[in-house]
Structure 1
Amino acid sequence: MLQRPRRRCEGTAMGVIVLDLRPGLGIGPFSLGMPICEAFAQIEQQPNIYDVVHVKYFDEDPLKLDVVISFPDHGFHLRFDPWSQRLRLIEIFDVKRLQMRYATSLIGGPSTPATFVAVYAVFGPTFPGIYDKERGVYTLFYPGLSFAFPIPSQYTDCCHNGEAELPLEFPDGTTPVTCRVCIYDSSTDSKVGVGSLMNKASAPPLPAGSLYMEEVHVKLGEELWFTVGGQHIPFGASPQDVWTELGRPDGIHQKQVDQMVIHSASDPRPKTTLCGDYFYNYFARGFDILFDGQTHKIKKFVLHTNYPGHADFNSYIKCNFVIHATELDGAYHQDMNSSKSSITPGTKWELVKEILGDCGRAAIQTQGSTSNPFGSTFVYGYQNVAFEVMKNGYIATVTLFQSF
């Protein structure tokens, strides 16, 4: 698990912040189901509040564990599903560092301890919770919200048959203080608490017609096909065609000239770092389109997987592409569900080689700088497609072109 912190200058101090608690929905500016890029955007908008941020992920297999954005100063973190990269769980692990506001009441922080009695008073009666004997933790549940309370060993008798009298108070008159609060989607009626129960939290369903994680089908050497809107974008299409089908791009920039071309002695033309070709950037849909600067026709598509550990992480939404690697006939659109010869963002490089065959040695990609903290990647070329592969074997980008 890697951590990449953003550090603040020494000598600054951050007091306890107050965030609105929305059971089943989110906390403060963070909403369940939001893509990870939107969470980063919220963080960047309030750098004085979220000035120390840790990003944690499993570098060897980024699809195995959550991507976590942690705020150690404020005692909470955000857990994102590694495949969809959407927020599935908000976990407050140090309630003394974060004060939560629910309606007109405050709870948590150093001044208003989140005791069992206080929680019961603010959120009202509920059904008895679950006592985890192995962990010594009693979890109280509300729709989309849970509170975990550590139970001292001498008071385990207060939890008969895994349940307890509510509100929970010990014989000496004290009441337990919550050690963890979880906020999760309540539409599935799941009970999400500590330990393995946290794995039950999932991001809420996407609204009908959402373009997020839209499947983008690729027919090599021919076109992209978008499943939600039904658009077809073929090679050779014009900028006007793209605007009509996909709308205004998020950005437009000129392509840099390849470094080997710049230093070519056989080319008498003046050497510049830019050429006439230009990109349409669709950051919110996870891809770029390259146009020829003279013909103004599409010559390349670049699809991004947005895996943590890559230099472009958080620059693009993940593109949920499906590459149909075999030459399919007229049944192409009817055979979309066949995965035997399809490549997706979750396909590792070894399987790509099984599908397409060995293509030989890779070119080394350093993202333009030998000081790139994420290290180099490897580019493998085939007819009509090139794969940029990370050291962990996952695809970072896919470049589509037409071979002549």
Structure 2
Amino acid sequence: MFSTLEMDLRPGSGLWMFEIGTSLWNVLDILRSAQHFFPQVDVKYDPDTPTTPIILHLRPHLDLLFTGYQQRLHTIAVRKLRDPSPPLTLSYKKAVLSSNEEVLRRVGVSRIFGPTYPGDDLRYPGVSFSFEEDGRGESLKSPVPLPDDRLQEVKRVIISQKSADGEQRDALDEVAECRVMAGELCRAIVKIHEGVTLYFYPTGSEPIPVLLGLSTAQDLMCDLGPPIRTHYKEDDRMTIHRSGPESDADGDYFYNYQQHGIDFLISGSTHTVKKIILHTNVPGTPLFQRYKRCPWEIQGRPEDDEDESPPRKRFYERVEEIQHFIAPGEAPPSMILNRTDDEDGLRLPSSTTRLFGYDGIILEATDSAQVVAVMLF
């Protein structure tokens, strides 16, 4: 016997435990703790493009659509309302819309939500009700005529953010700033040899600069709060490429702010920031979902002192374009990194990446030219 899933519908806001605007990283973290509800989660994405939407399919009832750039929950689709594995009860303001005993029909929607505009679907601000199955084969079949279209059975319920003009938001649009984003990273402006400036929601909040060699572990604790994880540096494979003595790294430790997609390497002697690593959270790579997407932008030199919009390259641009931006000319030799060497039996589409080193910055990129991480030092 399956236990019944009881989900409350919140038009324009969310469904059950899912809130519009929540990051992909947070939702997958929620699902890890709810495996008794969803033992299998399918992640669907375009492996060649880091900015196409991502879909989480939670069998059999839910599809969660996330935006391509900010990786935030954009649309929730509830389907197979009558599938008993597990049974689903859908409610709105404590009134049951659909259950194993209650079939949701056109007339029921109209009674609860009121009149709406003509069309095949019933559309309201933040929610719509569809009478078509989502499979291509089903949509091509001729609908069975009913003596009274008021008895049409609802096959899908779609929840999305309300737009300012009342129109349904396009699936490729980013989610507008909302309450659930408060305190989360909005963007990270990278300045080579200097550090990174962090901007947080709500928009207009005071930015937080983190400077290489100057910002301390105590500064990070005061500005960002305690990290999710702290650990001492154990992987010394890159020290062979260091020009200085290897003993300089003794006692170094990491502050891992996975909720912001950032790692800070702290000097064990001065306790100042030595390195900053920004993660892009690209699906199909070994570090996917270990870190939230950090929306970093590498800033170039302004043309003059009055230039308020200096050139920038962003996380979703191809590695060749970013390389040319950092240092025009021939790209430096790359080193190959396989993060699955220590994971027996793990096979991923992009397990091997290449490291491109420049003065003050290293780019880690996949074979499809997606930059999965940036390291400042």
TM-score by length of 2: 0.83
Shift of 1:353: 2.6
Q: Deviations over 1:350-388 (max 9, x none)?
A: 211321233333111111526443211111111100001
Does residue 72 of the first structure (1) align with residue 54 of the second (2)?
no
**Equivalence for 2:81:** 95
Give 1:229's aligned amino acid.
Answer: E
- Residue from 114, 119, 129 that aligns with 1:147: 129
User: CA distance change for structure 1 residues 368 and 114 in 2, over 3 Å: closer, same or farther?
Assistant: same
Written as runs of structure 1 = structure 2, the 5 A alignment for 1:36-185 is 36-64=24-52, 66-73=53-60, 75-97=61-83, 98-121=88-111, 123-130=112-119, 138-150=120-132, 170-171=146-147, 175-185=151-161
Greater than 6 Å deviation, 4+ residue runs: none
Q: Equivalents in 1 of 2:181, 2:121: separation in Å?
A: 37
Shift of 1:253: 0.8
Give 2:159's aligned amino acid.
Answer: I
User: CA distance change for structure 1 residues 113 and 43 in 2, over 3 Å: closer, same or farther?
Assistant: same
Q: Equivalents in 1 of 2:180, 2:107: separation in Å?
A: 41
Q: Equivalents in 2 of 1:349, 1:200: separation in Å?
A: 23
Shift of 1:259: 3.2
Q: Equivalents in 2 of 1:219, 1:337: separation in Å?
A: 14
User: CA distance change for structure 1 residues 329 and 335 in 2, over 3 Å: closer, same or farther?
Assistant: closer
Give 1:126's aligned amino acid.
Answer: P
Give 1:310's aligned amino acid.
Answer: T
- Residue from 236, 240, 246 that aligns with 2:224: 246
Contact 2:106–2:149 (CA<8 Å) still a contact in 1?
Answer: no
User: CA distance change for structure 1 residues 239 and 128 in 2, over 3 Å: closer, same or farther?
Assistant: closer
User: CA distance change for structure 1 residues 108 and 62 in 2, over 3 Å: closer, same or farther?
Assistant: farther
**Equivalence for 1:233:** 210
Q: Equivalents in 2 of 1:346, 1:246: separation in Å?
A: 25
Does residue 361 of the first structure (1) align with residue 333 of the second (2)?
yes
**Equivalence for 1:223:** 195
User: CA distance change for structure 1 residues 129 and 94 in 2, over 3 Å: closer, same or farther?
Assistant: farther
What residue ranges of structure 1 are gaps of 5+ in the alignment? 1-12, 131-137, 157-169
Contact 2:361–2:374 (CA<8 Å) still a contact in 1?
Answer: yes
- Residue from 352, 371, 379 that aligns with 2:322: 352
Shift of 1:155: 7.8
**Equivalence for 1:7:** none
Contact 1:218–1:322 (CA<8 Å) still a contact in 2?
Answer: yes
Contact 2:300–2:310 (CA<8 Å) still a contact in 1?
Answer: no
What residue ranges of structure 2 are gaps of 5+ in the alignment? 133-138, 200-204
Q: What's the Cα RMSD here? A: 3.0
Contact 2:75–2:159 (CA<8 Å) still a contact in 1?
Answer: yes
Select the structure with the greater relative contact order (CA < 8 A; seq sep ≥ 6): 2
Contact 2:54–2:65 (CA<8 Å) still a contact in 1?
Answer: yes
User: CA distance change for structure 1 residues 329 and 235 in 2, over 3 Å: closer, same or farther?
Assistant: farther
Give 1:145's aligned amino acid.
Answer: V
Contact 1:89–1:202 (CA<8 Å) still a contact in 2?
Answer: no
Shift of 1:16: 4.4
- Residue from 339, 343, 354 that aligns with 2:313: 343
TM-score by length of 1: 0.77
Q: Equivalents in 2 of 1:261, 1:126: separation in Å?
A: 68
Contact 1:36–1:86 (CA<8 Å) still a contact in 2?
Answer: yes
SS of the equivalent of 2:219 reads: helix
Q: Equivalents in 2 of 1:381, 1:15: separation in Å?
A: 53
Q: Equivalents in 1 of 2:149, 2:181: separation in Å?
A: 54
Written as runs of structure 1 = structure 2, the 5 A alignment for 1:274-285 is 276-285=251-260
Task: Give the length in aligned residue pairs.
Answer: 349
Contact 1:126–1:141 (CA<8 Å) still a contact in 2?
Answer: no
Give 1:68's aligned amino acid.
Answer: I
Q: Equivalents in 1 of 2:277, 2:54: separation in Å?
A: 24
Give 1:141's aligned amino acid.
Answer: R
SS of the equivalent of 1:378 reads: strand
